[in-house]
Amino acid sequence: MFFTIVSGLKEKTAERIIRILLFTGLALFPSIWQGKFALGLLTLMAVYGILLIGLDATVGYLGQVNLAQAALFGLGAYGAALAVQADAAFPVVLLAGITAALLPGVALALPTLRLEGPQFALSTLSFATLSVIVLNEAESITNGALGLSITRPALFGFSLDATGFYWLCLIILAITWSASQSLLKSRFGLAIEALRDSPIATDALGIGTLRHKALAFAWGSALAGLAGALHALNFGYLQPAAFGYDLMVILLLGVVFGGRRSQWGSFTGALVIAMLPNLLSNRTFFSSLAAAGFVIALIPVIRTLLSKKIPSFTAIAPALAMMISSGLAFFAPNVEDWRKGIFALFLFATVVGLPDGLAVALAKTLRKLIRFSPDPLPQAMGGLRPLNTASGTALKVTNLSKSFGGVKAVDNITLNIANGEILGLIGPNGSGKTTFINLISGLYAPDHGTVEIAGTHPAPGSLMSAFAAGGARTFQNLQPFSGLTALESIMVCQRNSTKAEAIGWLRTVNLDNKSRLLCSEMSYGDLRFLEIARALATRPRLLMLDEPAAGMSMPDITRLIELVTSIKRAGIPVLLIEHHQDVVAELCDRVAVMDGGRMIALGTPDQVRSDPKVIEAYLGVIETDSKPL
Ligand SMILES: Nc1ncnc2c1ncn2[C@@H]1O[C@H](COP(=O)(O)OP(=O)(O)OP(=O)(O)O)[C@@H](O)[C@H]1O
């Protein structure tokens, strides 16, 4: 960038000002421009805005391909239309629309949200198909393919004309936008983003995956119903075919094109899809847009070439696509036939060149041009405090076994950890250590045996139940919440705690100066410390650390030893899997050794070090870091 404007404004304030200006401009539009057609398009844009903000909850925030939104929109529209026919008052009509989409939306969410990827997409597709068939076939209620006509009722005695109705849609869009923004920035929204990145970690930290997924889907469905009701009141005529595959694809296009996980993105997407038919029919406008798109797509290519590097595929492909689409827009003799093809090239260029969508890319550019002042952070509070436990047992494992096919990963292990104790768990690779922690933390259900955490028997195979009993864990394969910052990663794990306390936990692991950093930008070592802070923030009665030093540099290992020592001082019992012998020897009160799923030794580090069975187990597998103590 050539210059950067330093702004005293906070980004949030700047965003709010721009949004207020946008809505003021949109509200004033009918007094500046009297055209009925333009007003109709803007009303449609406001309705689509509400619909896409709802769709973004699942497609953007949850990261699931939801193909049911068009059908839910239709159900909302029919719900509202039937309420109008029953002479319901205006607010009741809106409520009927919301309910008509919300109930089937929740009914769909509960079984399908356990599914992921293509399975989820296909089940929402089945729902969409079925809904349209039901709307078609339930002729006695919906009038089938012939369609349903309604007249818009008065709102509190006022008969709304086209401008009045447009303003109403605009107000509802503004409220939906603010409500969505607050909701998705709250702990609830952070939880949704966290579970998209790691559902295992969210369950293990007691955040709750299914509950949050269902709520996000319900929110999206309710907005689909609200938008559907407004759509019915806007057009006054409904046909089931209008809510089929075409609309489904267009809505997805709107969210992706505009920008996911952003209300600005949904708004931009709504603007594009509302204008789409018009955009495709106006050749001059269309050609100018293609030319402008080509120039914009050329910028990254030229910049890379100027710095004497070879442009990447993500730079070349959009430029090529835009070059072809501009060529067709200007020179194709039968451009009418080519319109959809040209638009497909537009879409390809945007998806490849701006994977985050138009609005998000624009926001990123603005952030480079204008330096906003960051939100001030409160002083760190809290952190490690002595755990209030009497002497007793933190973990009691009895005859625990788990096999995978013929492999006995954990074979009849009985083990206790006392409150305040640090127990090391070592063993050669594949000896069953991680499976043991997976059984205690509820990731796996045991074949036999029992687990008791702080006096409670959690339900076997339930991460949430083991968490509720007081267990918290880290993972051998890191499970960061990549879309969240370090601070947000802690806040999402805390219930009823403040930002100051979250910073306190970051200070405990020496990351308080990185609170605003996204997890995707953090180093491997820092992420390992952040996982420990996340687990500590849940105030566990048993902390399970799975190879925390793996991949860490020597200075980080020293930091880790200091941290675990202070955890011990606070009296938090720890089950520590570790290959680094110096870490185990320095920290652990006792060490258990596993080999082939069995526990072959248990004692102090010194006792274990000289145990012949331990030496034998390690011989033959000792390479670099897996040495006996
Ligand atoms: N989900 C699974 N499905 C099938 N086999 C598994 C599964 N999880 C673990 N195993 C097997 O169970 C055995 C124990 O694996 P585990 O990961 O618990 O060992 P480990 O001691 O933690 O090893 P490492 O030190 O390499 O992490 C291995 O043979 C492994 O292949």
Contact call for residues 425 and 400 (beta carbons, < 8 A): no
Nearest CA to ligand 1 atom 1: 404
Q: pLDDT above 90 covers what percent of the chain?
A: 63
Nearest CA to ligand 1 atom 24: 429
Looking at 257, 280, 303, which one is the last position of a domain? 280
548 part of a folded domain: yes
Task: Give 446 Cα–ligand 1 centroid separation in angstroms.
Answer: 14
Task: Give 444 Cα–ligand 1 centroid separation in angstroms.
Answer: 12
Nearest CA to ligand 1 atom 3: 404
Question: How many domains in the chain?
Answer: 3
Ligand 1 pocket residues where CB is under 6 Å: 404, 407, 409, 427, 429-435, 476
Q: Do residues 345 and 245 share a domain?
A: no
| Average pLDDT value for residue range 565-589 | 90
Q: Do residues 294 and 250 share a domain?
A: no
Q: Do residues 127 and 86 share a domain?
A: yes
At 619, the pLDDT band (50, 70, 90 cuts) reads low
pLDDT above 80: residue 5: no
The pLDDT value recorded for residue 2 is 52
Task: Give 443 Cα–ligand 1 centroid separation in angstroms.
Answer: 13
For 49, half-sphere exposure in the C-beta direction (CA atoms, 13 angstrom radius) is: 25
Task: Give 412 Cα–ligand 1 centroid separation in angstroms.
Answer: 16
Task: Give 329 Cα–ligand 1 centroid separation in angstroms.
Answer: 58
Ligand 1 nearest atom to the CA of residue 435, by list position: 18
At 370, the pLDDT band (50, 70, 90 cuts) reads confident
Q: Do residues 192 and 288 share a domain?
A: no
Q: Do residues 334 and 411 share a domain?
A: no
pTM: 0.85
Q: Residue 153: enclosing H or E segment and its boundaries?
A: none
Q: Do residues 446 and 524 share a domain?
A: yes
User: Rounded to an integer, what distance in angstroms lies between the CA atom of residue 369 and that of residue 348?
Assistant: 27
**Residue at 448: amino acid letter:** H
14 part of a folded domain: no
The pLDDT value recorded for residue 366 is 87
The DSSP 8-state label assigned to residue 237 in this structure reads E
Q: Do residues 328 and 448 share a domain?
A: no
Q: Do residues 141 and 115 share a domain?
A: yes
Q: pLDDT above 70 covers what percent of the chain?
A: 97
Q: Minimal CA–CA distance to 579: which of 399, 358, 431?
A: 431
Contact call for residues 454 and 470 (beta carbons, < 8 A): yes
44 part of a folded domain: yes
12 part of a folded domain: no
pLDDT above 70: residue 620: no
pLDDT above 50: residue 195: yes
Looking at 324, 339, 374, which one is the last position of a domain? 374
Domain that holds residue 343: 282-374
User: Rounded to an integer, what distance in angstroms lies between the CA atom of residue 508 and that of residue 40?
Assistant: 57
Q: Minimal CA–CA distance to 77: which of 220, 234, 269?
A: 234
Among 402, 431, 478, say which to mutate for ligand 1: greatest number of ligand atoms within 8 Å of CB: 431
Please report, for the domain that includes residue 179, its CATH number.
1.10.3470
At 498, the pLDDT band (50, 70, 90 cuts) reads confident
Nearest CA to ligand 1 atom 5: 404
188 part of a folded domain: yes
5 three-class SS = strand
Task: Give 578 Cα–ligand 1 centroid separation in angstroms.
Answer: 15
Nearest CA to ligand 1 atom 12: 409
Task: Give 576 Cα–ligand 1 centroid separation in angstroms.
Answer: 17
Residues in the chain: 629
Contact call for residues 77 and 71 (beta carbons, < 8 A): no
